[in-house]
Structure 1
Amino acid sequence: MILNVIFSYNRALQLDYLLNSALEHFKTDYKIVVLYHTTGTHKDGYDLLMKKYEHHQRVSFIERKNVLFDSSFFKVIKSKKDWKFFKKKNLFNKHGDNFKGLLQKIIRKSGCEFVMFNTDDGVFFEDVVIPEEVFNIIKSNPENASYRLYVGENINGQPDYLERKQDYYLWDYYADKNIHHWSFPFAVDGTIYHSKGLLKHLEKMIYHNPVTLEENGVEYVWLHKIFKIGMSPIRSKLVATKLNRVSVDTLNPTIHIKPEFLNEKFLDGYTLKLVIPENIDNANIVPSEIYLIKGDLKELIYSLDDQGKKVQSLLGIEGAKEQLE
């Protein structure tokens, strides 16, 4: 079974859309844990969302909690740099919480052999059926293999050194020094790992939220030259939708549809509908149209414009090429 841990912050409406897409398209045995935190009236949105999914046995919610310090850091503080990070991000920080220790506990107690992460701006747009051979490779290489759902031959920039098997691609993450999806051996979006193999290293990484988990995690993975074996479907199954930004730790370009506006609409009974391009060639997209739906009402709140096209042009295979003014 795959444990899908979804990281979420102040995006109840978008999270609802991701959950619906996962329940519709994921055809391999799985369960979902939403690891979330909120501010202000966004809490009401998550309370409503939890009520909506309370009868879904595959879906559960766990809230991050503010703590004086997260004791899981004690295993990883080995330098002045680590101590500085801990003091700044966690120790007696009024915004510090138990993200690191809680995430590791969720994986440890899940009983799932495999684990993946997602962020709440993602969407599964095609059925996900994972070949048994892929699982066997990960089982045989628990600290050295993973399967990435947001890449495939439809995504721009796929290198020519990938080996095509019958129903998946195989490659070496360290074959290329250029930074792109196929040389980035650790990600918090749609990449399946062996739970015990990953957990062993998560416990040794220093991080305090999803952004630093990926940033510090990939540095750790590069340093230790682990998770060398990459695999993916022939065509990608997951895409990130750049509606907005909720983290102050990243400056990725978006079309700036305010989370507060979307939360108000969700509390008023609206659901989200994104028009995803038929031919997806980028792992990050600006939807061509965005609707809010309530009963027979269908409200168009966004249609692709010049600003959206500019945002899309900045989202290359190496991430954001530059920042918008």
Structure 2
Amino acid sequence: MVLNIIFSYNRAMQLDYLIKSVIARFKIDYKLIVIYHTSGEHKKGYDLLKEKYAAFNNISFSERKKVLFDPAYINTFRSKEYRDFFLERNFMKKNSDNFKGLVQKEIKKSNCEFAMFNTDDGVFLEDIVIPEKVFEIIRKNPENASYRMYVGGNLDGHPSFVQKKEGYYEWDYYADKEIHHWTYPFSVDGTIYHSKGLLKHLKKIAYHNPVTLEENGFQYMRKKKLMKIGLSPIHSQLLLTKLNRVTVDTLNPTIHIKPEFLNEKFVDGYRLELSIPKIIHNCNIVPEEISLVKGDTREIIYKMDDAGKKVQSLLGIEGAKEQLR
């Protein structure tokens, strides 16, 4: 079974869109847990979500809690860099919370053999049917293999060193020195790991939110040459939609649909609909059209424009080519 951990902050409507795609598309056994936190009026949106999905036994929500410090950092103290990170980002800080400890606790207590992360701006476009051979490879290489759903042979820049197997692709994350999707051995988007193999190393890494989890996790895995074996579907199955951003840790380009506006609409009973390109060449996309739907009412709040085309042009195989304010 796969534990699907979704990280979410102030994006209840987009999270709902993602969860619905998981329910519709996942044809494998899974548990889904949302690790979230909110500010202001956004709590109302998440309360609605918890009520909406209460009948699903395999879906749960776990809210991040403020703490004076997270004891999960103790296992990172052998590294001066991580000790400094703890003092700067967690110890007795105004916004310090239990994110690190919560992530690790949920993986451990789930008893799922495999685990993956997702962020709340994604959507699964195709049925998720994973060859048993993929699980066998990860099982035999718990610290050195993973399955990434947002890449595939359809994406621009698909490297020549990626080998096509029976129903999946396989490659070496360290085959190329350039940084892109196929040389980035750790991600918080749509990548399945062996739970115990992953947890062994997460305990040793300092991180305080999804951004630093990915950045510090990537640096750690790369330094130790872990997660060497990359696996993926033949055709990418996950898209990341660039509607907005809710973190100050990155300035990745988006079209800036305000989360506050979307939350108000969600609380008022609207749901999100995105018009996705039929042919996918990039795992990061600006939707061609964004609509909010309530009963027979449809409000089109965005259509692709020059600003959207500009944002799309800045999204390549290495992620954001540059960051925008």
Q: Following the alignment from structure 1 to structure 2, what is the Cα–Cα distance between the partners of residues 78 and 67?
A: 22
* C-alpha distance after superposition, 1:54-89 (max 9, x if no partner): 111121000000000000101102243322211111
Deviation of 1:46 (Å):
0.4
Cα deviations by residue, 1:213-254 (Å, 9 ceiling, x for unpaired): 000000000111110000000000000000000001111000
**Distance of 1:305 and 1:180 partners within structure 2:** 27
Runs of 4 or more off by more than 4 Å in structure 1? none
Distance (Å, rounded) in 1 between the aligned partners of 2:58 and 2:193: 19
Contact 2:82–2:205 (Cα < 8 Å) also in 1: no
User: 1:231 and 1:41 mapped to 2: Cα distance?
Assistant: 40
Query: Counterparts of 2:123 and 2:301 in 1: how far apart (Å)?
Result: 19
Partner residue in 2 for 1:204: 204
Counterpart position of 1:65: 65
The question of 1:153 aligning with 2:153 is answered yes
Aligned pairs for 1:50-199 within 5 A: 50-199=50-199
What TM-score comes out, normalization by structure 2 length? 0.99
Deviation at 1:120, TM superposition (A): 0.0
| Partner SS for 2:269 | coil
TM-score, with structure 1 as normaliser: 0.99
**How big is the shift at 1:168?**
0.2
Q: Can you give the 5+ residue segments of structure 2 that lack an aligned partner in the other structure?
A: none
Q: How big is the alpha-carbon RMSD for the aligned residues of Structure 1 and Structure 2?
A: 0.7
List per-residue Cα deviations over 1:15-35 (Å, max 9, x = no partner).
000000000001111010000
Structure 2 CA distance for aligned equivalents of residues 193 and 79 of structure 1: 24
**Where does residue 16 of structure 1 map in the other structure?**
16
Unaligned stretches of 5+ in structure 1? none
Matched letter for residue 307 of structure 1:
A
Q: Secondary structure at the match of 2:183?
A: coil
- Which residue identity lines up with residue 126 of structure 2 in the other structure? E
Q: CA deviation at 1:323?
A: 2.4
Q: Deviations over 1:121-143 (max 9, x none)?
A: 00001111000000000000000
Equivalent-residue separation in structure 2 for 1:21 and 1:281 (angstroms): 20
Identity %: 66
CA distance in 2, matches of 1:82, 1:140: 30
**Helix, strand or coil: the match of 1:138?**
helix
Contact 2:76/2:83, CA 8 A, preserved across alignment: no
Tell me the equivalent position of 2:7: 7
Residues in 2 aligned to 1:281 and 1:207: alpha-carbon distance in whole angstroms: 32
- Give the drift of 1:324: 3.0
